[in-house]
Structure 1
């Protein structure tokens, strides 16, 4: 399986899984479109993230979308340009890289 197909498959499965949880994101319908209607402007401590999904811009949406699922199960759309969101993504990627090297 080519890397681009693998990324597409992971993105599709993430979108499908995300549509099953109640959220402030737009519901996924038969057409692909942006999931985030509004962006959360506050700050969430990284330890409260249960999951962080990053959806790059593409034919379904012109915006990069970052959707965080909190430990309470709430989904929140974050501003991908906010400095604290960039730091959170970097830390989570670094942590995942450390775990993968073990």
Structure 2
């Protein structure tokens, strides 16, 4: 009878852990992505991609991850001056590409 109780407890624990895992989602989305951030300048020629993760329910801070051309991912300090300049440049560039140029109406 002791073996049956042990198996019952183990089964209950496994089910509870599995259910809890489904509720919080994949482990990559359930916590901050950056453990360590750097503030040193990285030249834009080395960038392959910039990802900005806004604060949410699982991470209470803004995170900026730069993927370098050779594949390495680097977390940068979003409060660093050079990072703010790069982000504002990208925002301005995105705004310019989204602007709609009004067409001139022709009267005949």
TM-score when normalising by structure 1: 0.63
State the structure with more CA Rg.
2
Higher relative contact order (CA 8 A, sep 6+): 1
Shift of 1:30: 6.1
The runs of 5 or more residues in structure 1 that have no matched partner are 1-27
How large is the Cα RMSD of the aligned pairs? 2.0
The runs of 5 or more residues in structure 2 that have no matched partner are 1-25, 101-108
TM-score when normalising by structure 2: 0.60
Aligned residues: 75
Instruction: Report Cα offsets for 1:8-66 as digits up to 9, x if no partner.
Output: xxxxxxxxxxxxxxxxxxxx726610010100231101232111111111111011100
CA distance in 2 between counterparts of 1:55 and 1:30 reads 13
